[in-house]
Each structure stands twice: as structure tokens, then as C-alpha cells.
Structure 1
Amino acid sequence: MQIALFGMSADPPHRGHGRVLRWLARHFDHVAVWAADNPYKQHQCPLRDRQAMLKLMIQDLPVPPGRIALYEELSHRHSLVSAQQARERWPQAELTLIVGADLVEQLPHWYKAAELFQLANILVMPRPGYRPSDQALAAIRQQGGQVAIAETLKTFEVSSSYYRQTEDAQALPTAVRAYINQRNLYPCTASSKEKQAIS
């Protein structure tokens, strides 16, 4: 059984995440998803809300039932711990950790990266404006990592930071947008947008 491990900050989850998940659902037997705190980022929204939004997005994806599921218990600031927990849950599966192309340069320096690479293969999702360097890919392989790039995935030019900067409602799935509006999340984004309009 081949399982994709896709942890993300999901701040908030957007249509680009949805496209990646649909692609993964076609290429893996199962996709395990969670939201987590990224030690390299400052998050705008509490983890519990990001998990809830991610769950809403997954429920609306047009994929076979059970192919993609949210595993809140896999959430950890270190991917190694998430991968260890996944290995305990699926001891016989082939695990593949999904990372965005913007993270590849950091990846060799992640917490106990060599141990992580022993637990899971690495699959890089393309992102507009980012191309993994040969040096970063070589550093992963030198630490024992098996790394590949999802060349057939068509990129989607949207990100969580793009939404926070523009409040472009089309960037988000309908259910996620409704959740944000209901709970008045990302109010700082709205305030900064108003200030820009005044100045």
C-alpha cells in the first residue's frame, strides 16, 4: 500500500491545496492529511481552525470515499514525528512525504532529516516561482533520501499568503470561505487592506 503524507500549515487551505490532493488521490492508495505548525512560519490562525477548514475542504473533494482523510493525531511541528506516527499506524505501507517546491532548500536542514528520509520517500509538488536547486536535491540524496518531483502536476498560482494579502475569495473553496466569514478569521488582513486603500 502506498500512502502519501501531506502535512501543511493550511493558513488557510486553498484551491491549490485541493488540486494537489486530487492529484495525490489518483497516484496513491491513500492520502493522509493534517494541518501543523510550521517552525519556519508565523501562523495567522489557530491550529484548531486550520484543522477544521482542512476537514471541510477534504469533504468537498471529488475523490473516491476514504481515499483522502484528515489525521489530526499526525500533526506535529517536526515532520519526523509525524512520519514516525504514520509508520506505527501503517507498518507495512510505503510512505511518501509530500512537500512544496518552496521547502526543498530547507529540507536537508529539517529536524533529524536523515532519520526522516529513512522513514519516507520525498515527493516535491511544483509551485510557481520555485524550482528546487540541484544542490538541495543532492543534499537530500546524500542523506539517504529518495526524492522525486511531481512533474505531471499542473501548478496553481495561489497560496495562503496570497489570500491573506488580497482576500481573493476565488482562491478558497466555498466551505472554507464560509468558515472564515462565520468566525471572522484573518481580521488583520482586512485591516491592512483597508489601510492600503486609504493611503
Structure 2
Amino acid sequence: MKRIGILGGTFDPPHIGHFIIAEEVRTALQLEAVWFIPTYEPPHKHEAATDAVSRWEMLNLVLANHASFQLNTIEIDRSGKSYTIDTMVELKKRYPETEFYFIIGADMVEYLPNWYRIDELQELVNFVGVKRAGYQLETTYPIIQVEIPMVDVSSSMIRDRIMANQSIKYLVPETVHTYIKEHGLYENK
């Protein structure tokens, strides 16, 4: 049976924290790959600061050079709000011989009781919790804990830095940094 990690998110923009988490979980759990699944419209946040195509393009630039990371556009293709249960039901239909490991930060671990149809979802996927500053990995739901280096970076912090005309060098991969500059993303939003 294949073992695949799932890292979902808005990726607005994708940053080094996303890739560190994916690589640490992939190696710790000996996963064959990690699929990055950008959401079209996040169900638990306000709308994304950039359109789905820009977020997809930024991810694609980085993932093209990493054999173990793959871009899966299931939620963008579906458009609208995406709930994890809908995505996982579809993925299980398409890949019945695959065991999925859904990677979430500690902030989402604490939020698990509020996830849409969480009891059904936990039957379809193994949750993998990684630490995040200011949060604990405490929940009544079964999760696999993976220790990762603490890198306190977030997409909102990067957007704020861009709006304040501060450097984001080394916080995002160089290809993402170039894309953001070339397309004038996150300026005056």
C-alpha cells in the first residue's frame, strides 16, 4: 500500500515553513511523497489575498524541482469552498490502495473538533500534527506527532512584510520571491 502525505492550505504565498514541514514528515514517516493541495477558497479563513492560479503557479515553480513533492489540484479544479472530507472521499475513490497522512499544524490540531464531519474524516485519513509556536498538540482525536525544527514563519507575516516594504528573502524559495516581485503580489492589499 502506498503511503502519501497531504499538505493542504491556501499557500498565500508558499514559504519555507511549508517545505520544511513536508520534508520532515515525509522522512519521519517514510512516505513515498507529499502532495501539496492548494485550496480554491479556504473554508475557515477569509478569501485568499491572491487568486488560485497565482498560488498554484508559485507552488508549481518550487515543486517542479523536488521529486518527492507533487502538486495536486483537486480542490482548485472543484472550485468554491473545499472541505477536507470532500477532498479525502474523492482521493480515496481515486486511489483506493493508498494510505493518506494529512499534515496539520498545532493550530489546526486544536481546531479539529470544529472540522466539518470530523468523525467521518478521521476514518479516512491519519492526522499528522506538527508543532507550531504558541500552540499545543493536544486533542481527543488520534494524531501522529512529528517533531520538526521550529521555523516561525507564516504566509500572513510574509504578506505583511511585503506591504511594509520589508525583505522576505530566505523566507520563501527564490522562485516564489521572483514570482511575487514580477507580479506585484501582496502590495497595497
TM-score range, shorter chain: 0.7 to 0.9
2:182 counterpart of 1:187:
no
Relative to the length of structure 1, the TM-score reads 0.81
| CA-CA distance at 1:74 after TM superposition | 4.2
Preserved contact between residue 13 and residue 176 of structure 1 (Cα < 8 Å): yes
Match of 1:33 in 2: 36
Extract unaligned runs of 5+ from structure 1.
141-145, 190-199
Separation of aligned partners in 2, 1:109 and 1:59 = 34
Aligned match of 2:99 in 86, 94, 119?
Answer: 94
**AA at the equivalent of 2:57:** A
Separation of aligned partners in 2, 1:83 and 1:96 = 10
Preserved contact between residue 18 and residue 57 of structure 1 (Cα < 8 Å): no
Instruction: Report the count of equivalent residues.
Output: 175
Q: C-alpha root-mean-square deviation of aligned residues, in Å? A: 1.6
**AA at the equivalent of 1:24:** V
**AA at the equivalent of 1:169:** I
Preserved contact between residue 75 and residue 82 of structure 2 (Cα < 8 Å): no
**AA at the equivalent of 2:145:** I
**Structure that is richer in helix per residue:** 1
Match of 2:3 in 1: 2
Aligned match of 1:53 in 34, 45, 58?
Answer: 58
2:148 counterpart of 1:148:
no
Separation of aligned partners in 1, 2:156 and 2:33 = 28
| CA-CA distance at 1:188 after TM superposition | 2.1
**AA at the equivalent of 2:186:** Y
Separation of aligned partners in 2, 1:117 and 1:132 = 16
Separation of aligned partners in 1, 2:115 and 2:182 = 36
Runs of 4+ in 1 over 3 A off after TM superposition: none
Aligned match of 1:163 in 148, 158, 161?
Answer: 158
| CA-CA distance at 1:130 after TM superposition | 1.7
| CA-CA distance at 1:60 after TM superposition | 3.7
Cα gap change, 1:118 to 1:128, in 2 (>3 Å): same
Separation of aligned partners in 2, 1:13 and 1:78 = 20
Separation of aligned partners in 2, 1:180 and 1:127 = 25
Separation of aligned partners in 2, 1:162 and 1:175 = 18
Extract unaligned runs of 5+ from structure 2.
none
Separation of aligned partners in 2, 1:5 and 1:101 = 16
Relative to the length of structure 2, the TM-score reads 0.85
2:83 counterpart of 1:78:
yes
Q: Tell me the secondary structure at the aligned position of residue 11 of structure 1.
A: coil
Q: Tell me the secondary structure at the aligned position of residue 8 of structure 2.
A: strand
Preserved contact between residue 34 and residue 51 of structure 1 (Cα < 8 Å): no
| CA-CA distance at 1:45 after TM superposition | 0.9
Aligned match of 2:127 in 101, 118, 122?
Answer: 122
| CA-CA distance at 1:82 after TM superposition | 1.2
Separation of aligned partners in 1, 2:18 and 2:120 = 27
